[in-house]
DNA sequence: CCCGCGCCACATTGA
DNA sequence: GTGGCGCGGG
């Protein structure tokens, strides 16, 4: 290890191994290098056993990279410390110790889809109206409880005002019971149950305090309260915790991330040493200027001074497009040009606020013949055909999983309809049976026809169970493919869609093959675990020469030579849903900051005068974040302001910079100052509650506004009829 | 009693 | 673009 490669602050962090440490690491400040050296220093110079070190990262990809770097430096026979994400860590702990409070070790993990279907069922049972209380909103609130370590028994109903949160609090205990009946945990449970486990079992907690004597937590600014409790519990004997983070990069508030953890840490861990890494090694001065200019407008932040010795580099390119197609074209053509000039696709990324924005880009890239990879969006393991097959595997392992069972009982169609299943479910409720047991007694419950089909289904599942015991997971999968008739049904369809589904199933087969070591027991379960816990980012292959497309959230922790960020419009970035809350608006700024600081050399930003989103056209204003960038570090290009709407395909690097196009470009609608309901106005609606105007058209009598409501989403309303109250 | 079609409302970010 | 639902045919 050559400590000459470290600056004084990094070196100080590396040498500080005993007692609490907070490493405030600005973007691109050599954080990973410092962390890796620190672990190596602990193992090699301090003689600390790797087993005694626990490092928690944000993604599996980051964990893998850190493990590789540590092992790479240690040479032959080196053992790696335990490096994983919060969720994988908790899953591993729970698999070992979960046999308490009614769960077995074969519990499954429910993803968002499963959660939603379970929450709907609970809402029906609790007689909560799905119209007035969208299941998604209820689920979000329940998730919020779990992120704050509020168990159902902790919640004081009379302390909550009437509203969605109160309803969620009513549904919450039903939902937890239902999860337990299904022998299932959701994502948030993984964390919450682990904390509960350690709180109720002091001995076990002591055991792990002894085991993990040195703990490191990366991306600390994005931890929630439950995760914070976990860190406290795991370190209460030794306080050897090093947290690494940057408040400017906190972008998961909506998922329960709690910036205050940064403040609490210094109180809860007395004597914390704080070290700031402020020298940026990644980006040009220009890029840092722009990023700093945006994030500096936030009131709630620790002042820091990120600086670099790097040269100022190219100015930021700002392209103002006619519409989203023109925007995509300009960005993709520019990238094409960079590649022609010798850039590698590996070193370029296109970032956007919402997944839906990728589609237009993909069309353009295909057209230009550029190979690309979309990270995120519909995940592989969430595709219908994959989830169907996985549901079979899940039920085979865990017969209590009624959510999966209901999914497959008539997939592919085999004559077991909703009516029969409903009857059996009702029967199960009365007799305290799980759904599979109910199906076994179908003859007592439904008519002879359906009963026979159900009996066949149950017999098939029993055979699968036998196969699972006797043979490998690969054989089992083959068996499921064939005996369920799933493949045959798809082959018969003979459509393009069916073909692509078959391809996906093929891919699933290879994935299982790769994963499963034939003789190892329990490997099917491990495979299923990974299917719920891998992030899409974990599959980003940065060695294949492929352009990466992803959201601003996903890009955290990555870096590229050149970065393009599209959709800089008020309403998209910052997103409409953030306009009514200052905290959320500030998070959008940080999101922008994270995006900018991914770039080493080049940054391109863009927006569009008109944009189609989900069928309707929006004319958002250029983003305030663009206006915050100092003009001297930016070059503007614009499409020729077109007279006809259809001319957006014409060559369009027409008007170069200058002029006073900056804040109010041609083609934008006139500023709304007159009759009220300007973009950004907060309003109240009798049914949808509070929202923000994000778009406006027409005037006076027939004025229509698009309002973004929390929970209800975007609504287009006629002002004359909607009874909107301006707040 | 099951199935498939067509209609409808829905759509931020994700381990 | 997708999933949920209601209806009429088998």
Whether residue A307 lies inside any domain: the answer is no
Instruction: Answer yes or no: are the C-beta atoms of A696 and A706 closer than 8 Å.
Output: yes
Whether residue A703 lies inside any domain: the answer is yes
A31 is in an annotated binding site: yes
Of A116-120, A233-237, A239-243, A379-383, the one with minimum mean pLDDT is: A379-383
User: What is the value of pTM for the model shown?
Assistant: 0.89
The separation, in Å, between residue A615 CA and nucleotide B8 C1' comes to: 15
Place of tokens 């055991």: A207
* Confidence (pLDDT) at A155: 93
The separation, in Å, between residue A122 CA and nucleotide B2 C1' comes to: 26
A27 is in an annotated binding site: yes
What's the domain count of chain A?
A: 5
Answer whether any strand C atom is within 7 A of the Cβ of A615.
yes
User: Under DSSP, is residue A596 helix (H, G, I), strand (E, B) or coil?
Assistant: helix
Tens-digit pLDDT profile for residues A204-256: 999 999 999 999 999 999 999 999 999 999 999 999 999 999 999 999 999 99
- What is the pLDDT confidence band of residue A594, given thresholds at 50, 70 and 90? very high
By annotation, the residues of A acting in catalysis are 31-32, 218-219, 249, 598
* Residue A577 belongs to domain with CATH number: 3.40.50.300
- What is the pLDDT confidence band of residue A687, given thresholds at 50, 70 and 90? low
Tens-digit pLDDT profile for residues A420-458: 998 998 899 899 999 999 999 999 998 888 899 999 999
Q: Which of A533, A557, A576 is the last residue in one of the domains?
A: A533
Residues A428 and A387 in one domain: yes
CB contact set of A488 (below 8 Å; sequence gap of 6+): none
- What is the pLDDT confidence band of residue A521, given thresholds at 50, 70 and 90? low
Residues A347 and A418 in one domain: no
- Please give the torsion angle defined by the CA atoms of residues A363, A365, A367 and A369, in that order, rounded to the nearest 10 degrees: -150
A28 is in an annotated binding site: yes
Residues A521 and A547 in one domain: no
Indicate whether A192 pLDDT > 90.
yes
Residues A366 and A384 in one domain: no
* Confidence (pLDDT) at A711: 62
Whether residue A301 lies inside any domain: the answer is no
Residues A620 and A544 in one domain: yes
Residues A225 and A368 in one domain: no
* Confidence (pLDDT) at A324: 92
Q: SS3 breakdown of chain A: % helix, strand, coil, rounded to 5? A: 50, 15, 35
Tell me the mean pLDDT in the region A250-277: 94
Give me the count of residues in chain A: 727
Whether residue A81 lies inside any domain: the answer is yes
Residues A512 and A545 in one domain: no
Pair type for strands A214-217 and A241-245: parallel
Whether residue A700 lies inside any domain: the answer is yes
Instruction: Answer yes or no: are the C-beta atoms of A601 and A617 closer than 8 Å.
Output: no
* Confidence (pLDDT) at A651: 35
Residues A384 and A373 in one domain: no
Tell me the mean pLDDT in the region A177-189: 94
Name the closest nucleotide to A111, judged by C1' and CA.
B15
A26 is in an annotated binding site: yes
Domain, as residue range, for A721: 681-726
Whether residue A654 lies inside any domain: the answer is no
Residues A81 and A211 in one domain: yes
- What is the pLDDT confidence band of residue A1, given thresholds at 50, 70 and 90? low
Name the closest nucleotide to A255, judged by C1' and CA.
B14
Residues A402 and A498 in one domain: yes
Question: Taking the CA atoms of chain A, what radius of gyration do you get in angstroms?
Answer: 27
Whether residue A644 lies inside any domain: the answer is no
- In strand C, the nucleotides that come within 7 Å of a protein beta carbon are 1, 3-4
Residues A148 and A197 in one domain: no
In this predicted model, which residue has the larger pLDDT, A237 or A4? A237
Q: Which of A148, A182, A216 is the last residue in one of the domains?
A: A182
Whether residue A667 lies inside any domain: the answer is no
* Residue A150 belongs to domain with CATH number: 1.10.10
The separation, in Å, between residue A16 CA and nucleotide B12 C1' comes to: 40
Residues A80 and A53 in one domain: yes
CA distance A74 to A55: 17
Q: Give exposure, A457-495, as e/b (b: 16+ Cβ within 10 Å).
A: bbebbeebeebbeeebbbebbbbbbeebebbeebeeeee
CA distance A172 to A184: 15
Lookup: tokens for A220: 């600390």
Tell me the mean pLDDT in the region A180-191: 94
User: Under DSSP, is residue A718 helix (H, G, I), strand (E, B) or coil?
Assistant: strand
Answer whether any strand C atom is within 7 A of the Cβ of A463.
no
* Confidence (pLDDT) at A301: 87
Q: Which of A517, A533, A549 is the last residue in one of the domains?
A: A533
């Amino acid at each position: 290890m050559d400590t000459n490669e470290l600056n004084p602050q990094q070196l100080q962090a590396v040498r500080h191994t005993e007692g609490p440490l907070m490493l405030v690491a600005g973007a691109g400040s050599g954080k990973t290098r410092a962390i890796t050296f620190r672990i190596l220093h602990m193992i090699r110079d301090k003689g600390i056993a790797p087993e005694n070190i626990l490092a928690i990262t944000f993604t599996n990809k980051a964990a893998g990279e850190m493990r590789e770097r540590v092992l790479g430096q240690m040479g032959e026979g080196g053992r790696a410390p335990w490096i994983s994400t919060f969720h994988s860590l908790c899953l591993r702990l729970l698999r070992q110790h979960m046999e308490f409070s009614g769960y077995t070790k074969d519990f499954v993990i429910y993803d968002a889809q499963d959660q939603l279907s379970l929450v709907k069922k609970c809402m029906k049972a609790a007689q909560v109206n799905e119209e007035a209380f969208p299941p998604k909103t209820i689920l979000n609130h329940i998730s919020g409880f779990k992120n704050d370590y509020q168990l159902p028994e902790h919640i004081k109903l009379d302390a909550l005002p009437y509203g969605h949160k109160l309803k969620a609090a009513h549904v919450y205990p039903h939902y937890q019971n239902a999860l337990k009946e299904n022998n299932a945990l959701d994502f948030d449970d993984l964390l919450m149950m682990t904390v509960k486990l350690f709180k109720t079992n002091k001995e076990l907690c002591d055991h792990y305090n002894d085991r993990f004597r040195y703990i490191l937590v990366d991306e600390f600014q994005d931890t929630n309260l439950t995760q914070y409790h976990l860190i406290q519990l795991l370190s209460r004997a030794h306080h050897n915790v090093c947290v690494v983070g940057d408040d400017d990069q906190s972008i998961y508030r909506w998922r329960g991330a709690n910036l205050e953890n940064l403040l609490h840490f210094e109180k809860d861990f007395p004597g914390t040493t704080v070290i700031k890494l402020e020298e940026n090694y990644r980006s040009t001065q220009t890029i840092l200027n722009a990023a700093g200019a945006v994030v500096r407008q936030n009131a709630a932040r620790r002042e820091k001074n990120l600086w670099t010795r790097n040269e100022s580099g190219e100015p930021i390119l700002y392209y103002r497009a006619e519409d989203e197609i023109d925007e995509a074209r300009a960005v993709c053509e520019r990238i094409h040009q960079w590649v022609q000039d010798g850039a590698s696709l590996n070193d370029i990324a296109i970032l956007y606020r919402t997944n839906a924005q990728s589609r237009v880009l993909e069309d353009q890239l295909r057209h230009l013949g550029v190979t690309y990879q979309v990270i995120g969006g519909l995940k592989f393991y969430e595709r219908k055909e994959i989830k169907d097959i996985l549901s079979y595997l899940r039920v085979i392992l865990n017969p209590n999983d009624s959510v999966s069972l209901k999914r497959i009982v008539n997939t592919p169609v085999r004559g077991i309809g909703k009516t029969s299943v409903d009857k059996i479910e009702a029967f199960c409720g009365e007799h305290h049976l799980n759904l599979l047991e109910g199906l076994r007694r179908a003859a007592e419950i439904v008519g002879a026809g359906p009963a026979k089909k159900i009996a066949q289904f149950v017999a098939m599942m029993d055979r699968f169970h036998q196969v699972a015991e006797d043979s490998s997971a690969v054989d089992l999968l083959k068996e499921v493919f064939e005996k369920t008739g799933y493949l045959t049904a798809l082959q018969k369809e003979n459509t393009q869609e069916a073909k692509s589904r078959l391809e996906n199933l093929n891919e699933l087969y290879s994935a299982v093959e790769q994963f499963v070591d034939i003789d190892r027991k329990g490997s099917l379960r491990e495979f299923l675990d990974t299917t719920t816990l891998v992030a899409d980012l974990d599959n980003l292959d940065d060695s294949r020469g492929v352009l990466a497309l992803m959201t601003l959230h996903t890009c955290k922790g990555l870096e590229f030579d050149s970065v393009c960020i599209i959709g800089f419009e008020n309403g998209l970035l910052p997103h409409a849903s953030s306009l009514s809350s200052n905290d959320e608006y500030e998070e959008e700024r940080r999101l922008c900051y994270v995006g900018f600081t991914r770039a080493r050399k080049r940054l391109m930003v863009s927006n569009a005068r008109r944009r189609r989103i989900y069928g309707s056209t929006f004319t958002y204003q250029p983003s305030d974040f663009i206006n915050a960038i100092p003009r001297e570090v930016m070059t503007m290009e614009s499409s020729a302001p077109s007279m006809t709407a259809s001319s957006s395909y014409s060559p369009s690097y027409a008007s170069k910079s200058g002029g006073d196009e900056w804040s109010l470009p041609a083609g934008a609608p006139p500023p709304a100052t007159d009759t009220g309901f300007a973009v950004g106005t907060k309003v109240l609606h009798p049914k949808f509650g509070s929202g923000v105007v994000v778009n406006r058209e027409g005037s006076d009598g027939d004025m229509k506004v698009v309002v973004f409501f929390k929970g209800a989403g975007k609504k287009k309303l006629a002002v004359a009829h909607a009874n909107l109250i301006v707040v």
